[in-house]
A = this chain, B = another copy of it.
Amino acid sequence: MKTEAFRKHAHQLVDWMADYLEQIERYPVKSQSKPGDLLAQLPAQAPQKGEAFEDIFRDFEHKILPGITHWQHPSFFAYFPANSSPASVLAEMLMATLGVQGMVWETSPAATELEERMMQWLRDACGLPAHWHGVIQDTASTASLCAILSARERATGFQSNESGLYEQARLRIYASEQTHSSIEKDVKIAGLGKENLVYIDTDACYALRPEALRQAIEEDLRRGYHPMMVVANIGTTGSTAIDPLPAIAAIAKEYGLWLHVDAAYAGTACLLPEYRHIIEGIEHADSYVFNPHKWMLTNFDCSAYYVSDKETLLRTFSILPEYLKTGLEGQVNNYRDWGIALGRRFRALKLWFVLRSYGIEGLQKILRRHLALAQWFKQQVESHPDFELMAPVPLNLVCFRYHPQNIDDPNRLNELNEALLRRLNASGKLYMSHTKLHGQYVLRLVCGQTYVQERHVQQAWQLIEAESQRLSRLLSLV
């Protein structure tokens, strides 16, 4: 494709992109595809001859789009959002065109220096400690893996990097039973063994119980184990529970544990001074992750990872083969030494476009709207005799379930809510997901999509109410 053809097709795409964002509500939120629908439409082999862009794009519209779940739809209430925004998409267009590699400073100085400054902007805008250093990772899974590896190296005097874990004492990691599954995955990757990830009980709000943490550490010390790390959750995936950071930090300090704070979703709320209490005690953390690619209007991938001690991170990951030497080592940041991957996209550009385009006040306004919408929805749940709030709502995730007054059997309630969710998502009018809290099947509704407005949450509530009644009639519950 020549440049003039690129220009023409790119203009066509821009109009499609703008139309898509304008008319996104005409699509079913959750794809109604069945397994194999797309596979059946795709040839088994790549074409030998090049094809016209018009043909490729027609297939995109007719074959791909029906298999898309529309994460940017304002009625996307599932999981946590993976928000985009116009400013972020514009940045992605430039990133793709430049196609630079930011593996070392020299391979694009601006990519490295903009990342350094953006991490400072975010740090200060969120009230994080001023001496922290940040780096963009792809996901919180990877960032938490970096934390676990740094903790492992600090605990073993950097000996596990050298000779492996074979002769080390058993390193123990503590986290609440509500901790994200990525921590278990990361513990396994690091060679530490999932048996050594100790899940700590939570309280009625699904937050870690500090006294249970202390008991687990004491028990491990008696058994000759080496307590290494505690993961505190600021906003669990299940219910955005907030672990008590000051109490956990005190225990971490007492026993010399690495304190990693996972605020992957909720961290964005710290842009609001009135929500900054959720990270009270953060100055005691060794590492911290939050994802601007979730709630901060910045396209995936963009996970912000912060450490209080840069040297430990670098000592964990630095490798300097001849072909990567540039003569500037020590003078500049070479972000390949700050994580796993060597190649790196120019992700800082998205943050720069988003932060400047909205300004901190613009982002705050959107976050406050989301938080208010969740409170409104929570009130509907609480004031309805057949619905039940299942967890506190510290942020903008509402955990609830349908609970008709004449049903008490826990299994029956679980099945009923599972059926309700299936019907709601099949409608295409909204998309929610679920979790289990203390064995109970719970519907999760997150008011955090970039474009969500009052009417979308109101429609969601009306639909949930109507569908629950329809289901009850169908099952002869009423």
Contacts and interface: CB of A to CB of B under 8 A. Distances in A.
Given A90-B9, A97-B89, A44 B161 contact: no
Nearest to A14: B10
Contact of A355 (B6, B33, B47): B47
Contact of A68 (B110, B145, B171): B110
A472 interface: no
B114 A64 contact: yes
B359 A50 contact: yes
A341 B188 CA distance: 14
A60 B189 contact: no
Interface in A176-217: 180-182, 184-185, 188-196
A478 interface: no
B42 A117 contact: yes
Contacts of A466: none
A21 B3 contact: yes
A86 interface: yes
A37 interface: yes
A477 interface: no
A275 B99 CA distance: 27
B67 A108 contact: yes
Contact of A323 (B71, B162, B434): B434
A343 B143 CA distance: 12
Interface stretch (A249-257, A293-301, A373-381, A386-394): A293-301
Interface string A9-25: 11101110110111000
A2 B85 CA distance: 10
Copies of the polypeptide in the assembly = 2
Interface residues of A, number: 155
Contacts of A110: 31, 33, 38, 63-68
Interface stretch (A304-312, A314-322, A402-410, A454-462): A314-322
A46 interface: yes
Interface centre among A63, A68, A94, A356 (most CB of B within 10 A): A356
A174 to B, nearest CB: 15
B121 A45 contact: yes
Interface stretch (A240-248, A277-285, A324-332): A324-332
A161 B26 CA distance: 46
A104 B100 CA distance: 29
Given A22-B3, A86-B5, A192-B191, A113 B36 contact: yes
11 contacts: A20-B98, A56-B87, A67-B108, A68-B108, A68-B109, A69-B100, A70-B98, A72-B98, A72-B99, A84-B99, A191-B191
Given A7-B18, A38-B110, A65-B110, 19 more contacts: A9-B86, A10-B93, A13-B90, A42-B113, A44-B120, A46-B355, A50-B358, A64-B110, A67-B110, A67-B113, A82-B99, A89-B97, A138-B138, A160-B193, A164-B165, A166-B168, A181-B320, A237-B321, A323-B444
